[in-house]
Amino acid sequence: MSIHLEQEVADYSERRMKLATAITDYADWLDRQHGIDAERTLRLADTASSLRQDKLVVAFVAEFSRGKTELINALFFADHGQRLLPSDAGRTTMCPTELYSNRDEPPCLSLLPIETRRRSESLAHLKRMPIEWCRVSLDPEDPRQLQESLKKLTETRPMAAVDAIEMGLWNGDDPSERHLLRADGTVEVPAWRYATVNYPHPLLQAGLSILDTPGLNALGAEPELTLSVIPNAHAVMYLLAMDTGVTRSDLEIWQKHVHRHANYHVAVLNKVDMLWDELKSDSEVQATIERQMEETARVLKLPRSRVFAVSAQKALVAKVRGDAELRVRSGIESLEYLLAHQVIPARRDMLYHAVNHEVNVLLDGSRVDMVARIKRSSDDLIQLTQLSGKNRELVEQARVTLQLEKDSYDATASQFRATRKMLKAQGEHLLRHLSDDTLSVICKSGRAAMEASLTTRGLTGGIRQLSEQMSGRLEQAKLQADNMLDALDQAYSRFHSKHNLPKMQVPRLDLGAYRNRLQGLMRETEAFCKDPANLMLEKRFMIRRFYAGLAVEARKAFNLARLEAERWLRIALDPVMTRIREHKQYLDTRLDNLKRILENMGTLKNRMARVKDEIGALRNEKAELTRIVAQFSA
């Protein structure tokens, strides 16, 4: 195991946990401020928990037998002293396999039977239904047992050809597949649809998650993989074989499933050892490798720096035997370096950036708030100091001035209550644009448009309608939110300029990410529709499945947009109300104190002592906040 890789992943995990702790500390701090920011505290708890659970997903994609599984073995599991995941000539891995670690459950291989493909539930949904899965316990201490159990990933079973066609597992029209039909009318199909391996490996425990996929365009048959899992992986390793170079089917899978997506992807020319030739000089061999790499970069339209040449098999052998020279020759180190020094840091920085961006806005708000509260108490103290030793008339004067201020404040506050009522109504309207009912209507009409003709044209029409209507709703919700924000801004400015409340800043409602997601799905659909393989009549089933997969993904984006809007509404309205109420309370207390001082001038000293204590406590909280802020930049 490369030291770099383990260290980088451990460092990534440690920083992630530290950041999560800083967020939790900050949430606790906010909670102590009289719980005035319940919504923000909740949001922070959410962010911290998703940080703790964050997984760095690396997917391995290729035509069959390019060596994906062997490379995974070499990169991550060589310390087992043997080949952990089954890798062999011909088709080996039969179903997409996700390797990860979850400490809450015992190590285990879970397999989803292929028959579930008849059903309309998404993979994500089925993952939450343990009853659907077959489980095999894994014993990490026993490599033999592990290896035996993991052989299940290669299992196949016979299935009636009609069923296989319906499930998109066999295409009788394809001459290259026709010979698979047996005399008894069955074909051999994968036994499992999807597998997960929960395994306590240090890299997996640190948050790495690996996706091994089967070749033979099995990806296309599982829309969720092409629409969401692969595009959302942080890095995709695309494998090719050095001896064959980029074949037609390699290029097809690359264009269909990898290159279009914006995530980080590299091409790995595997089996470089096949060029090692004792009758050729090293420099001749090197020149051939270079040529193949140049050619691959050109055909795949990738920068040359994103193409690697390795021998997964020799790397595995070298690691198992501790052969340093062979290991260097295998080229595996350049891939390990890439993972350790580019993929992982890129993910770490992105996560940091996103979290800091979100938290900084809140931290700024808290700092401004804190300064304002200290200033308020200091002003209070100054006034009390000025009054001490003075006569009652002066105190009475101060009380009258304060009363006037309070009356004026009450007027602004009641004016705001009317604004708030109006905003609440607008907020409900906004949520209606994104409601479940709206969504159902959109989905239903999209489906109707599609059902009308089960051709790709019908599908495009249906999905275009789905996407356009959803985007339209997001747009309307955003416009409404912008209008609300203008009204809010005016109201806050009034509090700021007239009553010296700290300037309150409400972020804009940003639904861009969800709109982008819908547009991304739209692009996937266009590609699906243009693909001649999907035009055949027998593919109706596939088209239906694709539409179902798409609707699930689109629905997900739309639901997330609604949650975001709900959250935004609470952030826009609730904390402000609390602050306004808090300021009113503050004015009331001060007024009350002045009244009490008027009744008995002797209480002035006590009051001063209390305000001093208050200032002391506030300064401590401020120091604590500074400490928390420092944790974020550490």
Ligand X SMILES: Nc1nc2c(ncn2[C@@H]2O[C@H](COP(=O)(O)OP(=O)(O)OP(=O)(O)O)[C@@H](O)[C@H]2O)c(=O)[nH]1
Q: Which stretch binds ligand X (CB under 6 A): 60-68, 127-135, 176-184, 561-569?
A: 60-68
Q: How far is CA 5 from the centre of its chain?
A: 22
Decide: is 46 part of the binding site for ligand X (CB under 6 A).
Answer: no
Q: Is 594 exposed, middle or buried (0-12, 13-18, 19+ CB in 10 A)?
A: buried
Nearer to ligand X among residue 285 and residue 591 (C-beta): 285
Decide: is 214 part of the binding site for ligand X (CB under 6 A).
Answer: yes
Q: How far is the CB of 258 from Mg ion (least distance, A)?
A: 17
CB atoms under 10 Å from CB of 418, counted, come to 10
Nearer to Mg ion among residue 68 and residue 271 (C-beta): 68
CA distance 509 to 364: 18
Q: How far is CA 608 from the centre of its chain?
A: 52
Contact residues for 225 (Cβ-Cβ < 8 A; gap 6+): 96, 123, 213, 219
Q: How far is the CB of 229 from ligand X (least distance, A)?
A: 16
Nearer to ligand X among residue 67 and residue 107 (C-beta): 67
CB atoms under 10 Å from CB of 126, counted, come to 18
Q: How far is the CB of 219 from ligand X (least distance, A)?
A: 11
Q: How far is the CB of 564 from ligand X (least distance, A)?
A: 39
Residues in region 518-547 near Mg ion by CB under 5 A = none
> Quick check: 288 and 257 in contact, CB under 8 A?
no
Among 44, 46, 34, 40, residue whose Cα is nearest residue 571? 40
The single residue among 146, 266, 300, 312 that binds ligand X, judged by CB under 6 A, is 312
- Which residues is 158 bridged to in the sheet? 188
CA distance 493 to 411: 15
Nearer to ligand X among residue 331 and residue 549 (C-beta): 331
Decide: is 65 part of the binding site for ligand X (CB under 6 A).
Answer: yes
Nearer to ligand X among residue 184 and residue 325 (C-beta): 325
CA distance 344 to 256: 25
Q: How far is the CB of 239 from ligand X (least distance, A)?
A: 6
State the binding string over 268-297 for ligand X (x if CB under 6 A, else -).
--xx-xx-----------------------
- Which residue type sits at 28? D
State the binding string over 331-350 for ligand X (x if CB under 6 A, else -).
--------------------
Work out what residue 287 binds among Mg ion, ligand X, none; the CB cut-off runs from 5 to 8 Å by kind.
none
Work out what residue 312 binds among ligand X, Mg ion, none; the CB cut-off runs from 5 to 8 Å by kind.
ligand X
Work out what residue 220 binds among Mg ion, ligand X, none; the CB cut-off runs from 5 to 8 Å by kind.
none
CA distance 245 to 623: 62
Q: How far is the CB of 65 from ligand X (least distance, A)?
A: 4
Q: How far is the CB of 87 from Mg ion (least distance, A)?
A: 6
Decide: is 92 part of the binding site for Mg ion (CB under 5 A).
Answer: yes
Q: Which stretch binds Mg ion (CB under 5 A): 67-75, 199-207, 430-438, 591-599?
A: 67-75
- Which residue type sits at 563? L
Decide: is 70 part of the binding site for ligand X (CB under 6 A).
Answer: yes
CA distance 429 to 622: 39
Decide: is 66 part of the binding site for ligand X (CB under 6 A).
Answer: yes
The single residue among 33, 41, 47, 93 that binds Mg ion, judged by CB under 5 A, is 93
> Quick check: 368 and 625 in contact, CB under 8 A?
no
Nearer to ligand X among residue 93 and residue 438 (C-beta): 93
Q: Which stretch binds ligand X (CB under 6 A): 143-151, 201-209, 230-238, 311-319?
A: 311-319
> Euclidean distance between the first and final Cα of the chain, in Å?
29
Decide: is 207 part of the binding site for ligand X (CB under 6 A).
Answer: no
Residues in region 134-193 near Mg ion by CB under 5 A = none
Decide: is 537 part of the binding site for ligand X (CB under 6 A).
Answer: no
Residues in region 76-105 near ligand X by CB under 6 A = 87-89, 91-93
Decide: is 610 part of the binding site for ligand X (CB under 6 A).
Answer: no
Contact residues for 253 (Cβ-Cβ < 8 A; gap 6+): 61, 62, 63, 215, 217, 219
Q: How far is the CB of 193 from ligand X (least distance, A)?
A: 15
Decide: is 65 part of the binding site for Mg ion (CB under 5 A).
Answer: no
Decide: is 69 part of the binding site for Mg ion (CB under 5 A).
Answer: yes
Tell me the helix, strand and coil percentages in the chain, rounded to 5.
70, 10, 20
Tokens of 520: 């991304």
Work out what residue 13 binds among Mg ion, ligand X, none; the CB cut-off runs from 5 to 8 Å by kind.
none
Contact residues for 143 (Cβ-Cβ < 8 A; gap 6+): 80, 81, 82, 84
CA distance 213 to 238: 11
Q: How far is CA 178 from the centre of its chain?
A: 41
CB atoms under 10 Å from CB of 273, counted, come to 19
Mapped onto helix, strand or coil, the DSSP state of residue 112 is strand
Task: State phi, psi for 388 to the nearest 5 degrees.
Answer: -65, 135
Q: Which stretch binds ligand X (CB under 6 A): 44-52, 61-69, 535-543, 585-593?
A: 61-69
Size of the site for ligand X (CB under 6 A): 23
Task: State phi, psi for 61 to the nearest 5 degrees.
Answer: -125, 145
Q: How far is the CB of 65 from Mg ion (least distance, A)?
A: 8
Decide: is 553 part of the binding site for ligand X (CB under 6 A).
Answer: no
Taking the CA atoms of residue 493, residue 499, residue 503 and residue 506 in that order, the dihedral angle to the nearest 10 degrees is -60
Nearer to ligand X among residue 91 and residue 432 (C-beta): 91
User: 324-331, long-range: CB within 8 Å, 24+ apart, which pairs?
Assistant: 330/74, 330/272, 330/273, 331/272
> Quick check: 103 and 205 in contact, CB under 8 A?
yes
The single residue among 96, 207, 215, 231 that binds ligand X, judged by CB under 6 A, is 215
Decide: is 131 part of the binding site for ligand X (CB under 6 A).
Answer: no
Separation in Å, CA 215 to CA 116, 239, 250, 428:
20, 10, 10, 49
The single residue among 2, 33, 41, 69 that binds ligand X, judged by CB under 6 A, is 69
Task: List interacting residues with ligand X (CB under 6 A).
Answer: 62, 64-70, 87-89, 91-93, 214-215, 270-271, 273-274, 311-313
What is the binding site for Mg ion (CB under 5 A)? 68-69, 92-93
